[in-house]
Amino acid sequence: SKFTRSRNTFYLIRVPKGYALKSDANTTYTGEYALLMEAGEAPEAEFGNTMKSFPASLVAGKRITYSAMIKSAEVADGYAGIWWRAEGDIDVLSFGSSKSQFDPSGLDWAQHSITLDIPEEAERVYFGMILRGGGKAWFDDQVVTIDGEPYEEEVEAFHPLTADQRTYLQDRIIPLHSYDPEDARTDDLAALMKLIGPASVVGLGESTHGSSAIFQLKHRIYK
């Protein structure tokens, strides 16, 4: 899950109805893939957005610069850009956006950059990319520097599953038929009753916050 120049993947994604988000290997700047965000013919929300948390302890009291290469097409009544936000206990402490750097007439790759001072009291930090209005935009070559020093996220090495690990998962995985709350089928959810048992209070977690499929699945489980 690196966001350096070689690859673009993102932990948390907000994709309102009418917007699509995918990796694109055909239109890239330097990486193997670029992130493509695209609005449908009549998007039901004002914008599509990606969001990733950043370790506040690494940037509190420091100056960050966040840049990305962006290419767009047919963006109408809006813009494509990047943003960065630092929050304290209850308030937004600092915010930066590259909205003013967007050129609606340009179809070539252009660099967007934000430099922001992060207050010492920052507790939560988020950054991401945004497409407001119609059209589509590609994002690539993301770079973050902290006090002028390039930051690269440490990622654990991938190790293929062993035969025992694969068997363990196959014995415990519960396939779901659908996440659509309007789906009348319920047999795939029967295993939940065994998992819940006699519990009177049940909490439903999430692997990403803001993904529509997860909230729809929760709705389906509630029903």
Q: What is the pLDDT of residue 3?
A: 39
Which pair of tokens denotes residue 153?
């996220």
Q: Is residue 5 scored above 70 in pLDDT?
A: no
Kindly list the distances between the CA atom of residue 81 and the CA atoms of 57, 118, 127, 132, in Å, as whole numbers in the listed order.
25, 20, 11, 9
SS3 64: strand
pLDDT grade, residue 177 (50/70/90)? confident
The β-bridge partners of 86 are: 94, 125
- The rounded distance, in Å, linking the Cα atoms of 90 and 77 is 32
User: What's the gap between Cα 218 and its chain centre?
Assistant: 20
Tell me which residue of 144, 99, 139 sits closest to 125, measured CA to CA.
144
What pLDDT, in 10s, does the model give residues 127-152? 999 998 888 999 999 899 999 998 87
- How far apart CA 34 and CA 27 sit, in angstroms, is 7
- Categorize the per-residue pLDDT at 1 as very low, low, confident or very high, splitting at 50, 70 and 90: very low
**Both tokens assigned to 185:** 């089928």
Q: Which of 92, 95, 102, 97 is nearest to 133 (CA)?
A: 102
What is the model's pLDDT at position 156?
62
State if pTM tops 0.85: no
